[in-house]
Amino acid sequence: MNPLHLNDWEDFEVAISKAGLSDAKSFYESYLIFNDILNKLPKQELVKRGWISSKDDLSSMVPLLQEIHSHRENALFRKSDTSHIALCVAWKSWVSTTAKMGVVSQDIAEFQGIDTNYLKEIAKLSIDVSSISSLPAILAKIGIVLVYERTLPRMKLDGVVFKLESGHPVIGISFRFSRLDNFWFTLMHELAHINLHMESLGDPIFDDLETDSEEMVEIQANRLAKDSFVERHLWRNCEPKYDKSDAAVIKFSKEIGIHPAIVAGMLQKELNEFHMFRKIVDEVDVRGKIFDDE
């Protein structure tokens, strides 16, 4: 896709109208970011996924322009890696478009809030690997839109959470890694954001869970996600911390009612011993279960 210039205005005016942009200066600033992002996107990959019809398809990128204009004050745009920003914003734009279509076409309940007991109930579903396919329908019953959209190449993002104008919270999961523990911790982390930070989700939260964030909202979400899997007093002195055997992990996971891969992943993170419990952690290929072409 060639860079856009202001003399392309006639070809672009329909997109501007659809985006609902009225402030010329504000639009121009968004337009400059949009143009820069377009030049950094993997267009062939977007065509392959059906996000755009061709490398020169501008009309399909209107939602991306809307995302940029609405959220360009987001912390993501203050990062120096503009190529990564492009990937994250494009991916989130598609998640948002999919979520809006889902609200219109599917039976999505009005969102009334979630409490910590509900988070614990969802965490218990991890014991059955096949429940991953049912989770979008389960969460739709309480007004949460869950979108599974594969990561773009080189995108360092596990998930995103935000709310639509309709008031529905949306969770996007990227399946950046194919491990079961990564999927479940990402999901519970985003659900924790909804429980704790719903009023702030007009501005999306982008989560790279491989990076330890010092932001309070991330610390709070991590803590609640972990507590949803296992009570703190049970985790503090659990047997696998000392035994460090696969058998101890499996035994403890049965006692608390969650999948062993989650216990193993939590121990790897806490002990900084990522070579441990590899057989348990790598047993399930989550991405392969969701996407047929994997």
- The predicted-structure confidence for 86-108, as pLDDT tens digits, reads as follows 888 889 989 999 999 999 888 89
Q: 148: part of which helix (H) or strand (E)?
A: strand 145-148
Please give the DSSP secondary-structure letter assigned to residue 107: -
Instruction: Indicate if 200 and 57 belong to the same structural domain.
Output: no
131 has pLDDT over 90: yes
Instruction: Indicate if 16 and 151 belong to the same structural domain.
Output: no
Instruction: Please state the pTM of the whole predicted model.
Output: 0.85
Residue 266 confidence (pLDDT): 96
Instruction: Indicate if 136 and 33 belong to the same structural domain.
Output: no
Higher per-residue confidence, 197 vs 83: 197
Domain boundary among 40, 72, 104: 72
Dump pLDDT digits (tens) for 198-252: 999 999 999 999 988 889 999 999 999 999 999 999 999 999 999 999 999 999 9
Facing residues of 205 across strands?
Answer: 161
The count of domains in the chain is 2
Instruction: Indicate if 225 and 176 belong to the same structural domain.
Output: yes
Instruction: Indicate if 65 and 80 belong to the same structural domain.
Output: no
Which structural domain range is residue 177 located in? Answer: 73-290
Instruction: Indicate if 43 and 150 belong to the same structural domain.
Output: no
Distance from chain centroid for Cα 115: 20
Two structure tokens written together for 204: 């999306």
Instruction: Indicate if 151 and 185 belong to the same structural domain.
Output: yes
Q: How far apart, in Å, are the Cα atoms of 114 and each of 119, 143, 238, 263?
A: 8, 10, 28, 24
Dump pLDDT digits (tens) for 156-194: 999 999 999 999 999 999 999 999 999 999 999 999 999
Domain boundary among 72, 98, 113: 72
Instruction: Indicate if 133 and 197 belong to the same structural domain.
Output: yes
Instruction: Indicate if 197 and 131 belong to the same structural domain.
Output: yes
